[in-house]
Every structure is written in C-alpha cells, then in structure tokens.
Amino acid sequence: MTKPSPEAPVQQALTGIRVLDLSRVLAGPWATQMLGDLGADIVKIEKPGAGDDTRGWGPPWLADGEGRPTRESAYFLSANRNKRSVAIDMATPDGQALIRALAAESDVVVENFKVGGLKRYGLDYESLAAINPRLVYCSITGFGQDGPEAGRAGYDFMIQGMSGLMSVTGAPQTEPQKIGVALVDVMTGLHAAIAILAALEQRHRTGRGQYIDLALFDVAMASLANQALNYLVGGTAPRRLGNAHPNIVPYQAFETADGHLILAVGNDGQFARFCRLADLAHLPEDPRFATNAARVAHREAVIPEVAAALKRQTTAEWLAMLDAAGIPAGPINTIAQAFAEPQALARGLALSLPHVLGGTAPGVRSPVRLSGSPPGEPLAPPTLGQHTAEVLGGLLGLDEAEQARLRAAGVVG
C-alpha cells in the first residue's frame, strides 16, 4: 500500500464539497455525518430554540467540564459529528431566503420532510435547482415520492415490521422482534451517502446535479438480502429461527459450560474440523450431515449433538481451540465488553472529542479508512446554533447589523 508523503499536504476525499443538511433524527443525519467524516463541510439547519428532535432524546446527557449534565443527548451525539449548526426558522420568509442563499453556495442538500413538505417554503428540488443547477438533492422519506403510501410518515420501527424484517427476527416461540438498533435508518443513511457520491461523480461528467428519491421501506426490503431471495426463489416465507441461520448449519449461538458463544461454520471442511475437536467425528460420515445442504435438511438432528458437545467446556476454552483450528467463532459481548476488545482498542474505535461546553464528547470512529485521503480528526457535534454567526457572516456575507435584526425577529438563533 502506498502512503502519501509526510511532506505532502493530505486533503480529505470530500474537501471542497458543501452539504446543506435539512434533515433530523437519524437517517439523514447519519448520511451527512458520513460525508462529514470524509471531509465535506456540513451546514446543519436547525429550528431556533428546539433544534433537531434528538437533542431532547435523553438521558443520558453529555457532561460538561465540571461533570454537570448538559442538554446534549447521547442520541444526538451519535449522528452529528463534523457539522456546523445554524439555527434558522424556515417557516419565516427571511429564513427561507437564507436557506435558498445557502443552497446556492452548496453542492448537496439532504432533507427528510414528508413528500411535498418543503415545496410550500420554496425549498423543494425544483425551486433550488433553478437557483443552482449543479445541486444534488437527496430526499429521504418513509415510502418514497410515489405509490399509495407516499404521503405517510415512516419510522424505523414500523418499517421493520412492514418490510418483513421483524418476521425473521427473534426466536420461533416469541413474538416478532425489532433489531436492537434503528438499523433501517442507519442503512438508509448509508444508501443516501452512496447515492450522493454517485450523483456527484455524474455531475463531474455532466455539470448538472440531480434528484435522489430514497425510501426507508425500499432500503429495508432490499436489505432482506438472502431472506428475500429465499422467498422469491423458494416460494415460502422464511420463519424466525432465533440465532440460527436459514441456509447454513451449524451457524448460531450455543451454550457452553459457563456462558455462550457463536459458532459460524461456513463450509464442510470447517464442519469436519469442528467435529474432530468436539469428539463428533462420526457426524461428517453420516450422509445426513456430510454436506451443508444435508445439515440444513436435518437441522433438528444435528444441532442437539453440537449443542451437547459445546456444553462440556468453557467459552474461553472453546474459543481458543476453534481459533487455532481456523473455525469461525466468537463471544457474545456486551457493548462495554466490545469497546474493551483488544481489536477495538488497537483500532481506536472509541473517540474523545473536545467539546465547546467543556470536557469531551465521546464518539465512535468512522470505519472508513482511506490511504490517500484519510479522514481528519473528527469534530464534536455542535451545540444548537453554535455556528450561526460564522456561516451567515463568512458564507453569506451578512454584517453584524443584519444578523442582529434577524435574531431580534426570531429568524435565526
């Protein structure tokens, strides 16, 4: 791998790209946070006095330099690093004019209002593209811009249910379960970032921006992956299998002598090696278990034998043996244990970012590692309106008198 010369200045991949972030909660902010990690200038527009809804989604709250709780929620901190917060009331004509002026100076707009919600403010794609034809405009909604559900609000939990994701999550004997993280929102943010980068590359060739219609429902359906194709190919809706895998056996969580582990046998060779370790050498010789397809067909017969063998030794003992034999396996950590993993420590995944209120704001490092344009040191998520004066003065050229007038009128905060 060729690394940049230490003498050469290193630019981040998206240096020079400005993103006007009109989104809130998770999917949109997750997308813009990713773009910010890659060097884009993210200007986040928030309502004066209230800001992004997630600012109030606590506890827990960030502590200031004296250890006192602030009103900065952990939820907000999770999705808003590397951004500048500008408090503008878009419901006012002056606020709309300011946002249009910012859009004229931006490369990308990201918003997650209901379908048609920004048109009444003159902040829809057609209105802003008339000002800035190079603008890439990404709309994130629950169900997309057309179809019978287009006008409905969409939330991660309900989308997990409607998409079928919950029908394959949880143990067979329990009610359907949602995933423990708002993963549809997160995946939608990832898809939004990918779509925006694709549109920017297209603009590089054509000189024109474009509109991106991204729906949580579409993303959830696409992310069913093999489970969607299990249905489309096999004609039978997949069922809940708990921690088991519909297409691979054994590939699930098992109890040990002192806890649990995950055994993820991916091929027949790994299964044979596992069986030798577990004193189950007879299993690969049985036609019912010799191949993965046979094991899937006879899941109920082979799993009890594997489970009984794993209970004979501790988790640590099994993990050491399995690792030495090249058989994929791992512990089931708490989040605290995950951050204490030597790998997490070596990769510096936990961040501690200096915060304007004093003290530091924790964070999680971006997983994107680029050799030629690495992400810079991240900035802590902003307080509400922290950069209003900086952006209005530096980017739009508004003098102090005009900014004072707007503040007095409640247009900016």
Which residues 6+ apart lie within 8 Å of 8 measured at CB? none
Rounded CA gap, 89 and 96, in Å?
A: 8
Give long-range contacts, CB 8 A cutoff, 24+ apart: 316-321. 317/257, 318/256, 318/261, 319/261, 321/277
Which residues 6+ apart lie within 8 Å of 278 measured at CB? 306, 309, 310
Asked about 94 being catalytic, the answer comes back as no
CB-based contact 84:19 (threshold 8 Å): no
Quote the crossing angle between the two packed helices 315-324 and 268-277, to the nearest 10°.
130
Q: Burial level of 305, CB count in 10 A (0-12/13-18/19+)?
A: middle
Radius of gyration in angstroms for the set of CA atoms belonging to the chain, rounded to a whole number: 25
Of the candidates 386, 194, 412, the one whose C-alpha atom is nearest the C-alpha of residue 403 is 412
CB-based contact 305:273 (threshold 8 Å): no
Of the candidates 153, 149, 77, 146, the one whose C-alpha atom is nearest the C-alpha of residue 113 is 153
Phi, psi torsion values for 213, nearest 5 degrees: -105, 105
CB-based contact 272:327 (threshold 8 Å): no
Q: Which of 21, 107, 124, 185 is catalytic?
A: 185
Rounded CA gap, 315 and 258, in Å?
A: 6
Tokens found for residue 142? 């629950």
CB-based contact 251:265 (threshold 8 Å): yes
Which residues are known catalytic residues?
A: 185
